[in-house]
């Protein structure tokens, strides 16, 4: 393993780093992921045209007829935009079969899968190194006769360098003289750390200075991005990535993370267009069914969301909590989450963005409400804010003369819900139970019993009941319930806001009861 001194002595960055995306080949090997042909085409289009990756690996040869259809469509599109040579397909050392399959699809580049460790050569192929090399040369000659370019994967290269380096060198000594565009060095089982990558890659570059080496990382130890960087620092000219880090087991190096680290940390040049990284992430997330973690760098839902109020205050004054990863760079925007830790600065920034102007006293009330909600719901979104403002500022009651002391609503399959309610009205407590057609219906019927039976008073008639959820379709969204009541011939409209629909309706009900109590006093 290389020492820190060796790292410093032998690291260098090529002037340009080629990015090859393998989402449609290695990424599709994620458990449970299978792209339809048209989905592959849409992803390939975005990668080639919008993201501007240098190359895309789109399939493995001889997999299925559906796979062949997908490769044909992608190659047809790539030819139309002048990028056919940027499309690659994984082939095998099987004489003519893979080359013919790939050629039939209209593809011109074969990524030939050879064995990069003695253990794989002998244990899987049951061949000697010289036999395997002879087979590779046969496939190479046939591909050349078909006017196809060839890159070579040395599968399990990482274990080859650890356990059988002479086997690796023996392969390269023969193959480096052939017409091979790139040698692609995979850490197939994700076993390397950055110091080992630097040591092994440096040896390869030093021994074969004229060879183009790609590095292909796997993320088993959560080191795929670090190892990719180490490979570039040691002279690798290309890196393999996947969108959202898809891939077998723990996945591959994520495209977005590799791009920003190369650019920001080491001033490396790539051809990637960063403002579409979030778009391709969403596309692949939708087609793959594999959700992106909210805290995934660059493309995660929450990575440009500040929660703490002190951060919002610092950003408002002098961008004190920003770094080079500004959201506008990725066609996104900074958001300030609303919750119990957000404080007035967060709320003020959200109000400004929505164009809402409130007095300091009103902001204080809104802050108090958000803190209250934050104890029950982790994040209150900007979409929730107009609902909260309306709830706080409309129908404010100076004094609650009707208070909910406690209630319980029980429901069971096949049975009507039952509500038990205890309320405080002008300092006296009353209780009642009732059965209803729904939880809220049972609750209102219990209240009616109290008003009619204990107080001898009429309970208002419910005229209209509407529920609104802020846009976004989240199951944890705040619910605004607006209820219209007929109170002695007059209509009263009240609203309640809560993460629970029944609670929101109950809040609207008690606002109405307090308005009615105030009118009775007058």
Q: What is the pLDDT of residues 173-232, one digit of tens each?
A: 999 999 999 999 999 999 999 999 999 999 999 999 999 999 999 999 999 999 999 999
Query: What is the DSSP-derived secondary structure letter of residue 451?
Result: I
Share above pLDDT 90 across residues of the chain, in percent, rounded to a whole number? 64
How far is Cα 274 from Cα 260, in angstroms, rounded to an integer?
8
**Segment (H or E) for 20:** strand 18-21
Across the range 447-455, mean pLDDT stands at 93
**Segment (H or E) for 70:** helix 65-80
Q: What is the pLDDT of residues 316-366, one digit of tens each?
A: 444 555 678 888 899 887 776 666 655 666 677 777 766 667 778 887 888
Is the distance from CB of 341 to CB of 313 less than 8 angstroms?
no
> Does 503 or 239 have the greater pLDDT score?
239
- Residue ranges of the alpha helices (H) in 375-425? 385-393
> Does 325 or 128 have the greater pLDDT score?
128
193 Cβ contact partners less than 8 Å away, ≥ 6 residues apart: 1, 221, 223, 226, 227
pLDDT class of 2 with cuts at 50, 70, 90: very low
Q: Tell whether the torsion through CA atoms of 32, 38, 39 and 44 is positive or negative.
A: positive
Name, of 8-12, 148-152, 332-336, the range with top average pLDDT: 148-152
Across the range 392-407, mean pLDDT stands at 74
How far is Cα 20 from Cα 88, in angstroms, rounded to an integer?
9
Active site (annotated) includes residue 25? yes
pLDDT of residue 344: 65
210 burial type by CB count under 10 A (0-12 exposed, 13-18 middle, 19+ buried): exposed
Active site (annotated) includes residue 55? no
Q: How is 329-363 classified by DSSP, letter by letter?
A: GGT---EE-BSTTTHHHHHHHHHHHHT----HHHH
pLDDT of residue 393: 67
Task: Give the active site residue among 25, 55, 182, 495.
Answer: 25
Task: Please state the φ and ψ torsions of residue 338, each to the nearest 5 degrees.
Answer: -115, 125
How far is Cα 34 from Cα 213, in angstroms, rounded to an integer?
29
Share above pLDDT 70 across residues of the chain, in percent, rounded to a whole number? 85
Average pLDDT, the chain: 88
Across the range 99-118, mean pLDDT stands at 98
Count of residues in the chain: 522
Intra-chain end-to-end CA distance of the chain, in Å: 86
Across the range 406-418, mean pLDDT stands at 89
203 burial type by CB count under 10 A (0-12 exposed, 13-18 middle, 19+ buried): middle
pLDDT class of 310 with cuts at 50, 70, 90: very low
Across the range 469-491, mean pLDDT stands at 75
Across the strands, what pairs with 408? Answer: 420
pLDDT of residue 363: 78
Statement: residue 270 has pLDDT above 70: yes
Is the distance from CB of 116 to CB of 184 less than 8 angstroms?
no
Residue 302 C-beta-side C-alpha neighbours within 13 Å: 12
pLDDT class of 75 with cuts at 50, 70, 90: very high
Task: Give the active site residue among 155, 199, 248, 335.
Answer: 155
Q: Which pair of tokens denotes residue 177?
A: 């003289």
Statement: residue 36 has pLDDT above 70: yes
Across the range 115-129, mean pLDDT stands at 97
pLDDT class of 9 with cuts at 50, 70, 90: very low
pTM over 0.85: no
């Amino acid at each position: 393993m290389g020492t820190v001194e060796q790292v410093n002595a032998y690291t260098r960055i090529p002037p340009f780093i080629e990015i090859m995306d393998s989402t449609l080949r290695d990424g599709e090997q994620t458990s449970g992921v299978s792209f339809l042909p048209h989905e592959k085409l849409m992803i390939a289009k975005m990668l080639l045209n919008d993201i501007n990756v240098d190359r895309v690996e789109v399939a493995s040869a001889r997999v299925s007829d559906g796979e062949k259809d997908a490769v044909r469509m992608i190659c047809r599109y790539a030819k139309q935009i002048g990028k056919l040579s940027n499309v690659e397909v994984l082939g095998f050392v099987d004489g003519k079969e893979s080359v013919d399959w790939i050629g039939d699809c209209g593809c011109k580049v074969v990524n030939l899968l050879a064995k990069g460790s003695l253990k794989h050569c002998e244990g899987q192929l049951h061949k000697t190194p010289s036999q395997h090399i002879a087979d590779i040369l046969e496939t190479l000659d046939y591909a050349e006769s078909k006017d196809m370019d060839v890159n070579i994967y040395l599968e399990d290269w990482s274990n080859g360098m650890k356990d059988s380096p002479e086997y690796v060198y023996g392969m390269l000594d023969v193959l480096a003289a052939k017409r091979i565009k790139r040698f692609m060095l995979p850490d197939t089982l994700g076993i390397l750390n950055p110091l080992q990558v630097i040591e092994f890659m440096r040896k390869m570059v030093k021994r074969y200075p004229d060879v183009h080496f790609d590095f292909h990382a796997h993320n088993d130890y959560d080191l795929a991005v670090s190892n990719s960087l180490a490979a570039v620092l040691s002279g690798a000219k290309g890196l393999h990535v996947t969108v959202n880090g898809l891939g077998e087991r723990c996945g591959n190096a994520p495209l977005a993370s590799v791009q920003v680290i190369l650019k920001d940390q080491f001033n490396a040049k790539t051809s990637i267009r960063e403002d579409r990284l979030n778009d391709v992430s969403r596309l692949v997330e939708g087609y793959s069914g594999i959700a992106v973690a909210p805290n995934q760098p660059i493309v995660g839902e929450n990575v440009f969301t500040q929660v703490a109020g002190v951060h919002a205050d610092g950003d408002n004054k002098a961008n004190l909590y920003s770094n080079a990863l500004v959201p506008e760079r990725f066609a996104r925007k900074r958001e300030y989450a609303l919750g119990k830790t957000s404080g007035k600065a967060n709320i003020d920034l959200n109000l400004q963005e929505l164009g809402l102007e409130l007095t300091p006293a009103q902001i204080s009330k809104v802050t108090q409400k958000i803190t209250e909600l934050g104890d029950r719901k982790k994040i209150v979104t900007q979409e929730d804010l107009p609902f909260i403002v309306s709830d706080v500022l409309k129908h404010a009651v100076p004094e609650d003369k009707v208070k909910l002391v406690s209630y319980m609503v029980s429901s069971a399959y096949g049975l009507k819900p039952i509500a038990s309610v205890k309320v405080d009205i002008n300092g006296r407590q009353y209780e009642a139970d009732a059965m209803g057609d729904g939880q809220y219906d049972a609750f209102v019927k219990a209240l009616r019993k109290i008003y009619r039976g204990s107080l001898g008073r009429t309970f208002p008639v419910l005229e209209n009941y509407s529920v609104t959820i802020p846009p976004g379709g989240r199951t944890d969204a705040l619910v605004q319930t607006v209820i219209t009541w007929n109170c002695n011939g007059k209509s009263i409209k009240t609203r309640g806001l809560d993460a629970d629909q029944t609670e929101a309706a109950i809040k609207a009900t008690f606002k109405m009861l307090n308005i009615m109590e105030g009118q009775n006093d007058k």
